[in-house]
Amino acid sequence: MKKIFVFILLYLSSSFPQQFKFAWLTDIHIGYPTASEDLNQSVNDINSIKDIDFTIVSGDITATGTLEELSLAKSILDKLNKPYYIIPGNHDTKWSESGCTDFIRLWGNDRFVFENQNFLFVGLHEGPRMRMSDGYFAPEDLRWFDSLFKTKSDSVKPMIFITHYPLDESIANWFEMTKRLKTLNTKFVLFGHGHANKIYNLEGIPGIMGRSNLRAKEENGGYNIVEIKNDSVFFYEKNNSKENFSRWHSISISEKLNFTETKFPDYSINNFYPNVKVKWQFNTGYTIGSSATINDENIFVGDASGKFYSLNIDDGSVQCTFKSNDAIYSSPAVSSDYVVFGSADSSIYCLNKNYGKLIWQFKTNAAVLGSPIIYNNIVYIGSSDKSFRAINLTTGNLIWQFSELNGFVECKPAFADNKIIFGAWDEHLYCLDANSGYLIWKWKGNREGKFYSPAACTPVISNGIVFIVSPDRQMTAIDIENGTELWRTGKYQVRETLGISENDDKIFIRTMNDTILALPSSKELQEPLWITDCKFGYDISSAQIIERDGAIFYPTKNGVIYSLNSSDGKILWIHKLTNGFINTISVINKKKIITTDFDGNVTYLIVE
């Protein structure tokens, strides 16, 4: 009897007429020319409307996720008279100098849940965290979402879900969220990203994209007001320069939703290559945004929880662990008995590779997202305090520090001819003397803007030539001695992915549409040695190409691994492992590879 009474109360409480309004801001993009002025105007405008109960902010708070941009956004948003609830977007996470930690430090969390008049509001972003890829709901975030609905009373509450991307294939694992929302009393989904008011049907769930707060070509910026009244929801666009607001959409929330079937990702390609198999798989439970490093019988990798693992190469069992104080996006380097990596907690760590015990810890002034290399007992690594360092591997003592960067470092540097080559998110590629840290030269492309920096690719070097690709769609060859540009081409529509053959005579490139090709490593731009149409479609992954034993390996943004013959480009095999991002592959030999991915998996793949 008591259970029936509770159910009736829940039903009646969700059926009683409701009436409230909230403001909805999205795609604020502090850092763009008019963004702070537009946001100030919107905040003042929202404060002038007395019956606004709260404000939702659905991502892309900044242009590039810097602490300066985030802090300015917070100082403006904090002027709101009523509460506001906020999540980040891809601009806040992909180019984050802090490894996505500054947002949490400023606002206390990067997700939210609250109730208003019996409606449950849940906000959750999908990154992507630090790597160029589609959006992806992190395993740790999905666990948090599930924890909200442990009881029947929680799951029957009318819910409004807020995210940044549309819940479609622009999120690689959109189906993980839509299948959850279909089991709950979901009324509609709010999101941004597209900068325009637009209506979506998300497999039967009403979806509404909101306009950007930016003015764009108008005189002033604007936002949306959402009114829930009785059994309907009304959407109004509000321009900051006008008193009135116009209704552009409405939905009923009393009608039962008719869900359509989810079209899940297709794994049928694996049927054509049955000889490619998973030997073992280990799941950390958290996003992995770095590659594994293989040394002897050990596999080393860190995850977004800050945990660093040593796994047994034979069966994936955990041999030892170490906990840093924040997320790890740095791929480790190993030399002798030492393993070195950076953490978003602003430290560079050196552990004993056999026991996981701390040997030394070097504290910097910001997150360390770059990956180290070790040469001649010296660790070379870049960080987010706009510095690049050389550190004694044995003692952890600083040898030299180069502090003339204007952006953070996320890549692994290259070493050749006693020179260190790396890019930073400040538009430049740098060449330093490995002994002194002295700047030999720096290079900049001809397209202005931080987004076009050669910062995510690992430079490759052959016969005194440095090869890079960058988001300006250009490939460039540079003289290592003086930084002179030897050639530059936009013919192949590249982005951030390239590789080099083991004998240094070929450069491998992935274009942004379907193809992988090989060029001679030459001072003059020559015709491709081969071009292979892999038919993977549009691809923006920042994973690099690795060659070993005459085969190259590359994973697409949607988890499809390609192995090609490096001599002629013939496809050796294809295997779809996930639908999300796979980091640069760690290769044991032609038939054995280790992968890490956004699902938190470390996977040993073999070719029989």
The 3-class secondary structure across 389-412, one letter per residue, is EEEECCCCCEEEEECCCCCCCCCC
pLDDT score of 10:
43
- Can you list the domains of the chain with their CATH numbers? 20-252 (3.60.21.10)
What confidence tens digit (pLDDT) does each residue in 294-303 have? 999 999 999 9
Q: Is the pLDDT of residue 12 over 80?
A: no
pLDDT score of 5:
40
Return the SS3 of 291: coil
Average pLDDT over residues 54-82: 98
Q: Residue 18: pLDDT band by 50, 70, 90 thresholds?
A: confident
Cα 5 to its chain centre, rounded Å, is: 47
pLDDT score of 577:
98
Looking at the DSSP bridge assignments, the partners of residue 414 are: 421
Is 308:324 a contact under the CB 8 Å cutoff? Answer: yes
pLDDT score of 505:
97
Is 212:27 a contact under the CB 8 Å cutoff? Answer: yes
The count of C-alpha atoms lying within 13 angstroms of the C-alpha of 179, restricted to the half-sphere facing its C-beta, is: 10
Which region among 5-9, 546-550, 556-560 has the lowest average model confidence (pLDDT)?
5-9
Average pLDDT over residues 409-419: 97
Conformation bin of residue 18: beta by default, left when phi > 0, alpha when psi is -120 to 50? beta
Q: Residue 152: pLDDT band by 50, 70, 90 thresholds?
A: confident
pLDDT score of 14:
45
